[in-house]
Amino acid sequence: MGMEAFLAIVQTRSLTKAAELLHLSQSTVSYRLQVLEREMGATLIERRKGVQTINLTPIGESFVALAQRWSMLKREVEILQSRGPQISLTIGAADSLNVYVLPPLYRAISQQYPAMRLQIRTQHTLESYESIERKEIDVAFVKLERVVSSIIVKPFYVDEMVLVRLRTEERTPTDVISPLELDCRNQLYFNWGPSYQMWHDRWWDTYSPPNLQIDAAALIFSLMWDPQQWAIVPRSIANALAQIDKFVVQHLSDPPPPRVCYQLTPKHSDSVKASALDTLNRLVQSIYLSGNT
């Protein structure tokens, strides 16, 4: 109550107007301010006879930011209370997974469990491991497997690798292409991980790197303008490209190893989070591990 009185005084610069704002008597506002100052052990408002406008003391000026943060937290608590019991999950995932793989999961959670509150973060794989260890997020979806004693790491999605090129009259989705038919210099190159790099180095001279290297798969949409250009991408991304009529998706006679994606969860969670994670695990199982993508 003292915080509200203090913020009202800061806003209006007047005890009288602060009382009007709070629908209280001036003496009540003054009393609440005095109680707050006793709790703080410091004077927050200068009191000078005959002066209408109220000024803050140096401590009062510094205290304004803290009081405003308290007010924001109080409003958030009131909002949560008005919504009733809620389960929340904070999810971290690599950009390409958030955009091309995980939307069916997010959609299923929103439709089947509308009371569950989701916070979704786009993170690099190593950042997700660190965030799980620091308990900043509850679950993560990443592209690389690491051994960490406090984290459960398990595969949740296997993505075959395919060839994407601009559509021409001669090219069809049923064509099977040999890597020998592809000029490495025309590749839009994205490093999909160690196993992909080993496969790539078997077919193309490492001393003649691609002319165009990218660090975001979405760039393929805008950077592929020449029929000679090509890119190798996971099927989940290729499906999105195939919806644009200018691209064709083809198979390779010797494809790279499929991309395996992993789910990270902490080994120990409180009972509320454990319940939310059980719900998420059931959805992951039905969507990605049962052939229902």
159 backbone dihedrals φ, ψ, rounded to 5°: -120, 110
Per DSSP, the residues of the chain read -HHHHHHHHHHHS-HHHHHHHHTS-HHHHHHHHHHHHHHHTS--B---TT--S--B-HHHHHHHHHHHHHHHHHHHHHHHHHH-S-EEEEEEE-HHHHHHTSHHHHHHHHHH-TTEEEEEEE--HHHHHHHHHTTS-SEEEESS----TTEEEEEEEEE-EEEEEE--TT--TT-EE-GGGS-GGGBEE----HHHHHHHHHHS-TTS--SEE-S-TTHHHHH--STT-EEEEEHHHHHHHHTSTTEEEEEESSPPPPEEEEEEEES---HHHHHHHHHHHHHHHHHHSSS--
CATH topology of domain 2-83: Arc Repressor Mutant, subunit A (1.10.10)
CATH topology of domain 161-252: D-Maltodextrin-Binding Protein; domain 2 (3.40.190)
**One pLDDT digit (tens) per residue for the chain, 293 residues:** 788 988 888 888 888 888 898 888 989 988 898 998 898 888 988 877 666 678 888 898 888 888 888 888 888 777 666 655 567 889 999 998 999 999 999 999 999 988 888 899 999 999 999 999 998 999 999 989 999 999 999 999 999 999 999 999 889 988 999 999 999 999 999 988 889 999 999 998 776 778 899 988 888 888 999 999 999 999 999 988 878 888 999 999 999 999 999 999 999 877 778 888 998 999 999 999 875 44
CATH of domain 87-158+259-288: 3.40.190.10
The ranges assigned to domains in the chain are 2-83, 87-158+259-288, 161-252
Question: Do 2-83 and 161-252 come out as alike in CATH topology?
Answer: no
